[in-house]
Every structure is written in structure tokens, then in C-alpha cells.
Amino acid sequence: MRARATDARRAAVLGSPVAHSLSPVLHRTAYRELGLGDWSYDRFEIDEEALPGFFGDLGPEWAGLSLTMPLKRAVIPLLDEVSETAASVEAVNTVVFTEDGRRVGDNTDIPGMVAALRERGIEQVDSAAILGAGATASSALAALAQICTGEVVAYVRSAERAAEMRRWGERLDVEVRTQDWAQAAQALRAPLVIATTPAGTTDALSAAVPERPATLFDVLYDPWPTDLAARWSGYGGAVVSGLDLLVHQAVLQVEQMTGRAPAPLDAMRKAGEQALMNRR
């Protein structure tokens, strides 16, 4: 699944919108640290309609692609192979072009979540809560399938979303119970809370943070900290950020695309932190 690490190679992140993506900062930093001075990493504003044409124009210099919304599912028909991890959530965020010209899709978000949690000492929990029910929530469920030994409670806004989360739970072999979003404050007492909602959605919950919170994984990174994360850390709880996730999944992408391991995690994280500071 590795691309050759010689000669000038190209990689990029695709999506719409994509201008905000930190992926170029992270991957370019990795290339410098790994001595891959002739590698380049760009960003392209590509929607679902334009994706097949973009793939059709790619030459042999391409090593890989990072994919963000709305392309993670749309890319699957264009691939020769999809990893078991990506297939489990029907979402591909990484494409590697092999030396024999095959297009291989993977999902590094799921192992990236697990790695980010393990970095903070979270190896296993006996229960967890998920705030939200979108695409990121399904990846969170897949990550919890590896570290959660008991029930996962998902807090959602509609019966349709609740049914969808239960279906994902059955597919991923995770025990999922759903609760209405009106009860979301109850989630904050779980050993692990994963917030997968858009910016501002959890702000109203910050007043309900318990005095001794456990671990919060908030997948947002800009703006940071969220109100919930700030209150959580203020009470001494452990907080894993969206930047932690972004860096860990990018590390895996770099290693797959370049064939070089380990990727420079610390340098990539510092570059991401600096890029976020420069936006403020």
C-alpha cells in the first residue's frame, strides 16, 4: 500500500470547502522533516461532480490524496480497493496510488482517533457518550469499537438520526443506546465524551460540566478551545482536541503515501498549532 518514495511526487487535499484545511501545513512539514524536498502537497476545491474528472487527469507523479467532505463516500466507486477500516463506515479519507497504478482507499480518521486517545492514556473505557450523529459520529463509533467494553449512548436531535446511529452500532458491533439531545447534559458524566457536532452546538452544555469530569474528545479545532472544552479543562478534566485527531490521522496518511515511518508527529503538531495561532 506504499507509494515509491523516490523522484518528485505530488499529493493534495480535495474537498469543498477546502480553503480552511490544515493538511497542506501538516504534510509539507512532514516532507521537510523526512528530507523529501522534491515532494509537494496542494489543495483543490473539488466537489462530487468534479471528482471523476480530477481523477481522470492524474498522472504517474501522484502519490496520494487526502479527502474531506463531501468526497469521503463519493470517491469509493473510483477506487480499485478499499480497506476494511474504510468499508466499515463507508468513508475514505485517504487514497494511495501504488507503483502498479492501483487506487487504494483507506480511513485514517478511525485509527487517528484511537491514537489520539491513547496518547492521553485512554486505552480502554467501560462506557462512552457521543454528542451528535453525523459522519464523524460513525467514525467515533468505529474507534470506540476498539476501546469501549460497554454501552455507548448517542445524543441526537431526531428519530431518524437515532435509528441511523443504532444501525451503525449493529454494523460495528457496538452496543448503542440513543437519547434525545434535550438530555445531552447527562452525557458529560460518562468516562469518555466524544463531541462530533459543529461549532457552537455544545456551548450551552458547558454550564453542566461536572466538578470532576473525566475525558472529553472534542473534534473541533478552530476556533479553539470551544466553550465546552474550556470549562472541561478548567475543572481539571482531560481534553483531546480536533487538532490531536487531525495530526494523528495525517501522520498515518504521510506514512502510507511516502512509505516512510515514523512520520514526524511532534513537528507536524507544532506546525498545526502555529498555523492556528496565525489565524487569530
From the CB of residue 273, how many other CB atoms can be counted at a distance below 10 Å?
A: 16
Which pLDDT band holds residue 121 (cuts at 50, 70, 90)?
very high
- Closest by Cα among 260, 261, 252 to 108: 252
Task: Spot the catalytic one: 9, 72, 103, 161.
Answer: 72
Alpha-carbon separation of residue 153 from 167, 179, 188, 238 (angstroms)? 13, 7, 11, 20
Measured in whole angstroms, how far is the alpha carbon of residue 189 from the centre of its chain?
24
From the CB of residue 60, how many other CB atoms can be counted at a distance below 10 Å?
A: 11
Measured in whole angstroms, how far is the alpha carbon of residue 68 from the centre of its chain?
9
89-98 pLDDT per residue, tens: 999 999 999 9
Average pLDDT score, the chain: 96
216-225 pLDDT per residue, tens: 999 999 989 9
Look up 270 and say whether it is catalytic: no
Specify the pLDDT at position 3. 47
Specify the pLDDT at position 135. 87
Strand ordering across the sheet containing 94-97: 40-45, 10-15, 62-67, 94-97, 103-106, 81-82
- Closest by Cα among 209, 95, 135, 133 to 152: 133
